[in-house]
Amino acid sequence: MTQKQKRMLVRILAGGICFGATFFLPLSGVARLLSYLVPFFIVGWDVLWRALRHIARGQVFDENFLMSLATIGAFCTGEYPEAVAVMLFYQVGEWFQSYAVGRSRRSIAALMDIRPDSANLERDGQIVTVSPETVAIGDRIVIRPGEKIPLDGVILEGESSLDTAALTGESLPRDVKAGDDVISGCLNLNGLLRVQVTKTFGASTVSKILDLVENSSAKKAKSEHFISKFAKYYTPIVVLGALFLAILPPLFAGGAWTEWIHRALIFLVISCPCALVISVPLSFFGGIGGASKAGILVKGGNYLETLADVKTVVFDKTGTLTRGVFNVTAIHPDDCSAEELLELAALAESQSTHPIAKSLREAYSLEPDGNRIQSVEELAGRGIRAEIDARTVCVGNDKLMDEIGVTWHPCHHVGTTVHVAIDGAYAGHIVISDELKPTAKEAVAALKKVGIEKTVMLTGDSDAVGREVAKTLGLDEVYTQLLPAGKVEQVERLLSAPGRTGKLAFVGDGINDAPVLSRADLGIAMGGMGSDAAIEAADIVLMDDDPQKIALAIRLSRRTRAIVRQNIVFALAVKGLILLLGALGVATMWEAVFADVGVAVLAILNAMRALSVKALAPKREK
């Protein structure tokens, strides 16, 4: 509680006690009026004061003014307890609103507590503590255990575990070693790290995330626009209605003035649209905050709204459903051992920079002995011919085998096949393929479960690989051998497909995906290994690259939408009902003030549910 809130609470309590005492005092006439004025001023003097100041500035449809008018009007018509009660409950509602908003603001701020305060810069062999903004690209920084990583960089020295929970929602620490990239905002748990900075603070992950979340509430959802418009007209219309109600019936139908003024005052009590104006953005803010707690960055309330309507999810393959890292997945020797086959291939490829060569060397795991290699010749687009241990070893694709006249046989494993021939005789082949992400299958299943009608995969990869992946994961459609432009075409075709309902989301990670990401109704990017262009173009970013988060995000967005709808319908229904009953003379001021404050409190409490993500998160195994 802030000082202001504490003071207000004391005033509310004091006013309430005073009001209760007055209620039972056997007073009458002026004494009674005066005794009710005491709690009235204790609780409401600031409202009256602000109302005066607002009138002086020409602000008529101001809630302070309307409340003052309603309560003073009640005093004038002799309803002293009602007048005090309206002021008291109005203040209770205001107090609660400020408390609730402050709380959710703080919990979101705590969530975003990833901004590092300082960096330990290495300068001339000395370590100085500086502000992260002053560190330049290429500088070396030291991160001690327990410190936050201040800037993005690559590890030069040291090993440690990183707590990435603040960024990704992932609670398992990530192990890193020299050569690994680290992103700012993670917590260094146990080892000392020396890191070379690769991005300035402004361009670092932590700054980008903070920017995203802070600006997210600037992009308003449709329902927020609706509420803004509604609020603009609601108050003037209700106040005008009150005016007519007070004047017309007594003037033309011969009603009693006090009776109709009383009904008009009821209108004024519920003329403030604050419950709606605050609860709708608060729900979206909570939804976005809750999502970022789970490592899902949503760039605006409008995207959260679109996500709730998604019925088609289109995936890119490499890096999105697969890890985007090539690995040896099968070794099939013909007339030597598997170890020998891999060793020869790794030796032959020991100088090459091709991704396939890299994966062969990684699978071999030992340092290739350069002394055994007499000569190496790279044959572009085909492979490598090398002299190893005085034998001619050819490592490459089927074209190379055909060229040297070696009969090869295809592999039943899907992936890139690397054939090996020794002295013109076929020795076997090694299959290299991209691995599926461990959660890819569950991710697709989870999407089906939340009611996604169609899942599609687009890939530049070969038909065989694409179909195999799509079959394993249970995807509905797959389009293979696509160039980047082809992906845009496919998405456009899906967008304009006849009979399509709901929105289309595209999930991707690469630079090539940026045009598709912006073309789809909703772009979702992989934030961990995704390119900057993809993250820039996307509307939603998954920080830990886990495709399973898509279904979670959809459920979150739907819950947020449900909360928003509940609040709008509930608030409008109650206000409408009380307006009607008030005009008919059935509702009293008591009901009006309870309706006004009660609706605000309930709507805010409901909005705060949007922040909680626990109930929706998938249960972790083990």
Partner 1 sequence: MEKTYRIEGLDCANCARKMEEALNALDGIASAKVNFLLQKVILQYDADDEKEVIKQVKKTCRKIEPDCELIG
- Helices within 182-273 (DSSP H only): 205-216, 222-248, 257-269
Quote the least distance from Cβ 133 to partner 1, whole Å: 16
Verify binding: residue 278, partner 1, rule CB under 8 A: yes
Residue 217 Cβ, how far from partner 1 at the closest point, in Å?
6
Shortest CB 293 distance to partner 1, Å: 16
Number of Cβ within 10 Å of residue 221's Cβ equals 25
Sign of the Cα torsion 403, 407, 412, 413 reads negative
Task: Identify residue 196 by its one-letter amino acid code.
Answer: Q
For residue 526, report the phi and psi dihedrals to the nearest 5 degrees.
-85, 120
Considering the complex, what minimum distance in angstroms separates the CB of residue 280 from partner 1? 9
DSSP 438-465: TTHHHHHHHHHHTT--EEEEE-SS-HHH
Q: How far apart are CA 62 and CA 261, in angstroms?
A: 20
Q: Which is nearer to partner 1, 228 or 352 (CB)?
A: 228
Nearest to 289, CA basis, from 616, 556, 563, 620: 556
Q: Which amino acid is at 43?
A: V
547 membership: H or E segment, kind and range:
none
The single residue among 281, 319, 466, 508 that binds partner 1, judged by CB under 8 A, is 281
Both tokens of 407, joined, read 């009969």
Segment contacting partner 1 by CB under 8 A, of 84-92, 228-236, 366-374, 557-565: 228-236
Could you tell me whether strands 310-316 and 503-508 are parallel, antiparallel, or unpaired per DSSP bridges? parallel
| CB 9, min distance to partner 1, A | 15
DSSP for residue 502: S
H or E stretch covering 339? helix 338-348
Nearer CB in complex with partner 1: 103/413: 103
105 binds partner 1 (CB under 8 A): yes
Tell me how far, at minimum, the Cβ of 260 lies from partner 1, in Å: 27
Per the structure block, which two tokens stand in for 220?
């308003």
Q: How many residues bind partner 1 (CB under 8 A)?
A: 28
- Which positions ≥6 away from 575 have C-beta within 8 Å? 270, 595, 596, 599
- Residue 316 is a catalytic residue: yes
Please pick, from the candidates 221, 246, 277, 583, the single residue that binds partner 1 as defined by CB under 8 A: 277
Footprint (CB under 8 A) of partner 1, residues 39-58: 50, 53-54, 57-58
Which one of 121, 274, 313, 360 is in contact with partner 1 (CB under 8 A)?
274
Element of type H or E holding 405 = none
Residue 114 near residue 214 (C-beta atoms within 8 A) = no
Given the rule CB under 8 A, which of 32-40, 230-238, 422-430, 555-563 is the region that contacts partner 1? 230-238
Is residue 287 part of the contact set for partner 1 (CB under 8 A)?
Answer: no
CB of residue 50 vs partner 1: minimum separation in angstroms?
Answer: 7
**Per-residue string for binding with partner 1, 412-451, x by CB under 8 A?**
----------------------------------------
The distance of closest approach from Cβ of residue 569 to partner 1 in the complex, given in angstroms and rounded to an integer, is 19
- List the 119-123 sheet strands across, edge first: 126-130, 119-123, 140-143, 193-197, 153-157, 181-182
Q: What is the per-residue binding string for partner 1 in 194-223, x denoting contact by CB under 8 A?
A: --------------------x--xx-----
Three-class secondary structure of residue 159 per DSSP: coil
Which residues, in sequence order, are CB contacts of 325 under 8 Å at separation 6+?
Answer: 359, 434, 435
Q: Of 100 and 452, which CB lies nearer to partner 1 in the complex structure?
A: 100
DSSP-based three-state secondary structure for 404: coil
For the CB of residue 285, give the shortest distance to partner 1 in the complex, in Å. 5
Site string for partner 1, 332-371 (x = CB under 8 A): ----------------------------------------
Which tokens in the block code for residue 230? 């509604």
Out of 11, 63, 428, 594, the only residue in the binding site for partner 1 (CB under 8 A) is: 63
Contact characters 65-104, partner 1, x per CB under 8 A: -----------------------------x---x--x--x
In single-letter form, the type of residue at position 541 comes to V
Do the beta carbons of residue 601 and residue 99 sit within 8 Å? no
Residue 468, CB-side half-sphere exposure with 13 Å CA sphere: 15
Torsion angle, alpha carbons of 266, 272, 274, 275, to 10: 30
In angstroms, rounded to a whole number, what is the distance separating the alpha carbons of residues 8 and 93? Answer: 11
Return the number of the residue (235 or 480) whose C-beta is nearest partner 1.
235
Q: Which CB, 331 or 604, lies closer to partner 1?
A: 604
Select from 114, 272, 328, 541 the one that contacts partner 1 (CB under 8 A). Answer: 272
Cβ density class 201-211: b for 16+ within 10 Å, e for less:
beebbbbbbee
Q: Which stretch binds partner 1 (CB under 8 A): 66-74, 83-91, 254-262, 271-279?
A: 271-279
190: contact with partner 1 by CB under 8 A: no
* 3-state SS assignment for residue 416: strand
Interacting residue with partner 1 among 80, 285, 408, 506 (CB under 8 A) = 285
Among 231, 373, 445, 572, binds partner 1 (CB under 8 A): 231
Output 249 or 287, the one with its CB closest to partner 1: 287
Question: Segment contacting partner 1 (CB under 8 A): 148-156, 227-235, 448-456, 457-465?
Answer: 227-235
**Binding partner 1 by CB under 8 A: which of 261, 282, 294, 537?**
282
Using the contact rule CB under 8 A, the part of the chain among 275-283, 337-345, 385-393, 530-538 near partner 1 is 275-283
Helix (H, G, I), strand (E, B) or coil at 196: strand
Q: Structure tokens of 66?
A: 């309307």
**Which H or E run contains 167?**
helix 165-168
Provide, rounded to whole angstroms, the least separation between the CB of residue 292 and partner 1. 14
Catalytic residue among 139, 152, 316, 545: 316
State which of positions 116-145 bind partner 1 (CB under 8 A). none
Which positions touch partner 1 (CB under 8 A)?
50, 53-54, 57-59, 62-63, 94, 98, 101, 104-105, 214, 217-218, 228, 231-232, 235, 272-274, 277-278, 281-282, 285
Catalytic residues, which ones? 316
